[in-house]
A and B are shown apart, each in its own frame.
Chain A
Amino acid sequence: MSDEPAESILEIEPVEGGLRVRGQVDLSNVEAFLEAVTDKAAGAAELVLDLGGCTYMGSEGIGVLIEALKSLEGGRLVLRSPSGIIMKVLDLAGLSKLPNVEISR
């Protein structure tokens, strides 16, 4: 982990088919999140993001998910266990309506 405690609030670790995201995604760590996600997404048929431990995601996080979709080039983005408010954000961003996005609560 980073020595900077304020940034260590976001933990990203590999899981089968994707990444587990824990903590809060915001402007302080969005670059690291973007890099991790687009790395995994590049050329993959499917990317799973387990959001079960993700307690905050606003517009910056949505931007990353949209970049992930671009990197997937038609592949599927699977979002697991988003919290109630993150689900609302996904709805507002229109992500939950996209055919290549699957959300499992």
Chain B
Amino acid sequence: MSAERIFPADPVSLRDIRTFVRDQALRATFGTESAEELTLAVSEAASNSIRHTQTTSVRLEARLEGECLVVEVEDEGTFDSRMPIPELEGPGGRGILLMTAFADEVAILEGTPQDPGTTVRLVKCKASGAE
């Protein structure tokens, strides 16, 4: 099972992104709690792309690998790997913490100015201890 969809890089897309992920998780017979956790992790990744990069679209791909749902969030931006300065930039930086808490596996494949396009790969497994 796999599904792919491209969303405009606009904050109003986030609700549709969450609906897409939740539907995929429920279709893959994940429990509500696991589905909500994966949805939140993906929403945080997409929110980061929309907020912090110049990307015009966010591409989501979800595929079932055994008992695990793998969701990739891909943008056309470059990943800013410097340390955030909350005192200057306001609240933020909690998104990655939530991703690592709610997904079983988080990988960030960074885009660079030479090769733009950052992919965040989030994996949630049915037998997850978080359930």
Contacts and interface: CB of A to CB of B under 8 A. Distances in A.
Interface of A: 4, 6-7, 9, 24, 26-29, 56, 58-60, 62-64, 66-67, 84-85, 88-89, 92-93
Given A56-B18, A59-B94, A28 B12 contact: yes
Contact of B91 (A4, A58, A66, A84): A66
A63 B15 contact: no
A66 B98 CA distance: 16
Report the interface size class on chain B: 20 to 34
Interface in B85-109: 90-92, 94-95, 97-98, 101-102
A51 to B, nearest CB: 15
Interface string B106-127: 0000000000000000000000
A82 to B, nearest CB: 13
B55 interface: no
B61 interface: no
B97 A85 contact: no
